[in-house]
Structure 1
Amino acid sequence: MKILAVDTATSWQSVAILDDSRVLARHDQDAAGSHAKLLLPTIDRLFRETGLTVKQLDGLVVSIGPGSFTGLRVGLATLLGFRTISRLPLAVVPTLEGMAWNLRGTSTLLCPILNSRRGELYWALFRWTSDDRLERVLSEQVGTPNMLGSSLSESALLFGEGWTVEESAIRASISPTITVSEAPESSMKPSAVSIGQAGLERLRRGEYAGVGMSPLYVQRTAAELKYEESGGISPVALRQERVARKVNARLATARGRREKGKSGTR
């Protein structure tokens, strides 16, 4: 299955053409403030490199966020335009999920992290299962480094631009009983190749983007932030605390099952 995959969720623009797991062509570049200017020429360049046209593809894939509001709109609008012209199926992939595909097969809990535009962070938790499925442990969150640290109850591999920028603050918020590992530098940025691989799974399952598709912004409002600054706790923060407690309970149950399974095989 040949696909065009695009990621414009951050200042880093990534475009790739895949044939199943094989990368036919790809291009990654710093596109801060220039996604609209650079995206179409980059796609044209990859079509020339591969000798393909959009009509020879089998599908389209784009990252849907969270991330840069402008970048997300540019990427989604461009791929929606290609869908209209070609009538190809379009799959959308959450950016943090796509980043987890950078580390496919890793057994450790994964925590991809991106910067939010208000000095906060986006993150989610994932785990690769023994049968090569990506399990979402915690859905996309937005908040402070302290909120991120509170959502972790077991050792995890943290990575992404948000980790690079806020490493010290995040480490300070994590329990000393939790081991934090760093991913290779190559996995720090969203990649159209990984987005494409995740999108291929969706296309094969028939999970196509709807007509009214919009980016996944995952952003707290200014009113909620002001409420916290005044000494209160926003409804979003309260929801995130409840979610964190549920996730921690699920992880504890899963650990108990794994330990019970290990003791049973001895």
Structure 2
Amino acid sequence: MRILAVDTSTNVASVAILEDDIIIGEYTCNKGKTHSQKLMPMIQCLLEKVNLSAADMDVFAASIGPGSFTGLRIGVTTIKAMAFAAEKPVISVYTLDALAYNVQMSKALLCPIIDARNSQVFTAIYRFVDGKLKRLTDYLGIHINELVEIIRPMEGEVIFLGDASGLHKDYFTAELGERISIAPPNFAQASASSVALLARDLHLEGKAESCFDMVPFYLRKSQAEREREINEKRITQND
């Protein structure tokens, strides 16, 4: 089975191809250009390097969020279009699940955090139990103060990863002390290979779907939507 997976949920653009449980190629870029400019060239380059085409894929997968609103739309739309053209199914992978999967088999609590600005983060808390990734909380969009209070009564070391892990390192250290550590860069950032591996597991569980059913997962409304609602409320109040 071959799976082509993408992750565009953060500033990182990542593409990977899984073939019979082996990652045969991965292309990741965390600098320059927008996802709309670099994602398709990355996909095309990777397919050429492994001597395959989109038609050779059995499944297409994307990280669906939470994360960057624009980035998610680009990744999801690209995968939907490729799956539609190839007449193949898709698999939706939650971004936070894929980030936690980067640190496989760790005994620590895993806390992926994606920057949502103003000391807000998208997050969830995980632990590997009997070799399986288990999510211990809901998917959350909260202030880092609230996150610390959720973690505080939990037992054990906590590994933070994701694009906000370094940003709030000092705060977490001050509040949680020696319990915390920050994943190194090769584990901390989004990786399409983790999306592909989780997609493989979901496929085995029968969770493939039509490309028409794949949608981005947002924990909150975009800034544009929030501003529009505020303006509409002001107009209503002035009438």
TM-score, normalised relative to structure 2 = 0.85
Separation (CA, whole Å) in 2 of partners of 1:117 and 1:87: 38
**Identity of counterpart residues, as a percentage?**
30
Q: How many residues align?
A: 221
Shift of 1:135: 0.9
The 8 Å contact of residues 112 and 125 in structure 1, kept in 2 or not, is answered as yes
Shift of 1:205: 1.5
The yes-or-no answer on 1:163 pairing with 2:165 is: yes
The yes-or-no answer on 1:204 pairing with 2:209 is: no
Shift of 1:94: 0.7
AA at the equivalent of 1:140: Y
Tell me what 2:108 maps to: 108
AA at the equivalent of 1:167: K
- Residues 173-227 of structure 1 show CA distances to partners (whole Å, capped at 9, x for unaligned) of 44x6x822332331110100011101111112220245343211112688xx9xx
Separation (CA, whole Å) in 1 of partners of 2:183 and 2:63: 21
Tell me what 2:14 maps to: 14
- Residues 61-100 of structure 1 show CA distances to partners (whole Å, capped at 9, x for unaligned) of 1001111000000000000001111111111111110011
Shift of 1:111: 0.8
CA, structure 1 residues 28+119, in 2 after alignment: closer, same or farther (shift >3 Å)?
same
AA at the equivalent of 1:168: D
Separation (CA, whole Å) in 2 of partners of 1:65 and 1:187: 18
Separation (CA, whole Å) in 1 of partners of 2:42 and 2:72: 16
The yes-or-no answer on 1:53 pairing with 2:58 is: no
Higher helix fraction (1 or 2): 1
Separation (CA, whole Å) in 2 of partners of 1:213 and 1:161: 24
Tell me what 1:232 maps to: none
Tell me what 1:90 maps to: 90
Shift of 1:160: 1.9
Give SS of 1:91's match: strand
CA, structure 1 residues 221+169, in 2 after alignment: closer, same or farther (shift >3 Å)?
farther
CA RMSD of aligned residues (A): 2.1
Q: Which moved more, 1:145-154 or 1:75-84?
A: 145-154
Give SS of 2:111's match: strand
Structure number with the bigger relative contact order (C-alpha 8 A, sep ≥ 6) is 2
The 8 Å contact of residues 202 and 208 in structure 1, kept in 2 or not, is answered as yes
CA, structure 1 residues 41+147, in 2 after alignment: closer, same or farther (shift >3 Å)?
same
AA at the equivalent of 2:48: R
AA at the equivalent of 2:168: E
Tell me what 2:137 maps to: 138
Q: Which sections of structure 1, spanning at least 5 residues, go unmatched?
A: 226-266
The 8 Å contact of residues 105 and 128 in structure 1, kept in 2 or not, is answered as yes
The 8 Å contact of residues 172 and 180 in structure 2, kept in 1 or not, is answered as no
Tell me what 1:233 maps to: none
The 8 Å contact of residues 91 and 209 in structure 2, kept in 1 or not, is answered as yes
Give SS of 2:122's match: strand
Shift of 1:119: 4.1
Q: Which sections of structure 2, spanning at least 5 residues, go unmatched?
A: 227-239
The 8 Å contact of residues 127 and 135 in structure 1, kept in 2 or not, is answered as yes
AA at the equivalent of 1:87: E
AA at the equivalent of 1:139: D
CA, structure 1 residues 220+119, in 2 after alignment: closer, same or farther (shift >3 Å)?
farther
AA at the equivalent of 2:43: I
CA, structure 1 residues 137+5, in 2 after alignment: closer, same or farther (shift >3 Å)?
same
